[in-house]
Structure 1
Amino acid sequence: MINTDHEGSIVSVAVFGEFTLADYHEFEELVRYKLKFEGPVSLFFDLRQMASFTLDVAWEEIRFSRQHAHDFRRIAVLTGSQWVSWTAWLSQLFVEADVRVFEEEAEARAWLAEIQ
C-alpha cells in the first residue's frame, strides 16, 4: 500500500507493507500529471515501512525511470535498509537526477527543498 502526496514540485510516496504494481501505477499517474502541468519534479520516497516489493515493480521502475530519465531533479530515499540503499544507488544508472539515501526525514526534506 502507498500514500502519495505532492507539494510544489515535490512528489512524496510512503510505502507500507508490500509495494505492488498497482501501487507503482498510482505513483506513475501522479508523476505524469505533475510533469505535464508543472515540468520536472523531485521525488521523496519513504521506504522505512516497506516490507517487500514484487518483481514486476522492479521491472516497471526501470522502464519508467528510463522513459523519464530527464524529468527528475532530485530523488530522496528514506530507509534504514542496506538493500534498499543499494537499489536506490543502482537506479542512478537510469536517471540524470541526483539520488541520495537518508535515514532522517528532516534531512531528506531539507535537501529536496534546497532547489524549490
Structure 2
Amino acid sequence: MLMIEIGHTPAKKLITIRVSGRLSDSDYNAAIPEIEEAIDQVRGKLNAVVELDDLRGWDLSALWKDIKFDVRHYDDFRRIAVVGQSDAEKIGAKASGAFTSAEVEFFQHDAVDDAEAWATAE
C-alpha cells in the first residue's frame, strides 16, 4: 500500500500530499523526488496541503529524511495546510513551523476544501 500519495496543480502552485499508515525510509525515497520536481516547476514558492489519513508515525530513518528535507527546502514553501483529526497532529503541525519559513495552519479532516483555499489564497 502506498503511504504517500502526491498530486500537483502547477497553475495554483499547489502540491497535495496524502500520508497514511506508518512512514518508512522507502516511502520517503519514492516521494521526495516528486515533491522536489514540483518545487522546481514553480516560480516563487510552492503551496502545500498535507492530508494526514490514519498516520501512525515514522520509522526513525524516515523521520530523519523528513527533517533533512525540511531544512533543505526551508524557504521553498509559502503556505502549508495540514489536514488531520487528532490533537497530536495539530501539535505536530504547529511544531513543524520551526522547520520552514512557510505559514503553517491546521485544519480538521472535514475541511480539505478550506485548507486548499487557504493555502492558495493571495
TM-score range, shorter chain: 0.7 to 0.9
Residue pair 2:5, 2:18 contacting (<8 A) in 1 also: yes
Residue pair 1:41, 1:74 contacting (<8 A) in 2 also: yes
Q: Is the aligned partner of 1:97 residue 2:102?
A: yes
Q: CA RMSD in A?
A: 1.5
Identity %: 26
Paired residue secondary structure (1:75): strand
Residue pair 2:79, 2:102 contacting (<8 A) in 1 also: yes
**TM-score between the two structures when normalised by the length of structure 2:** 0.84
- Residue 6 of structure 2 corresponds to 4
Q: Is the aligned partner of 1:45 residue 2:47?
A: no
- Residue 116 of structure 2 corresponds to 109
Map Cα deviations across residues 12-31 of structure 1 (whole Å, 9 max, x no partner).
11122222222223332112
- Residue 76 of structure 1 corresponds to 81
Residue pair 2:52, 2:84 contacting (<8 A) in 1 also: yes
Shift of 1:78: 0.5
Shift of 1:50: 1.8
Gaps of 5+ in 1: none
**TM-score between the two structures when normalised by the length of structure 1:** 0.88
Q: Tell me which stretches of 4 or more aligned residues in structure 1 moved more than 6 Å.
A: none
Letter of the structure 2 residue corresponding to residue 112 of structure 1: A
- Residue 23 of structure 2 corresponds to 19
Residue pair 1:13, 1:27 contacting (<8 A) in 2 also: no
Give the whole-Å Cα distance in 2 for the aligned partners of 1:33 and 1:107.
25
Map Cα deviations across residues 66-92 of structure 1 (whole Å, 9 max, x no partner).
111110011111001211221221111
2:61 to 46, 53, 56: 56
Aligned length: 115
Give the whole-Å Cα distance in 2 for the aligned partners of 1:106 and 1:37.
24
Shift of 1:48: 2.6
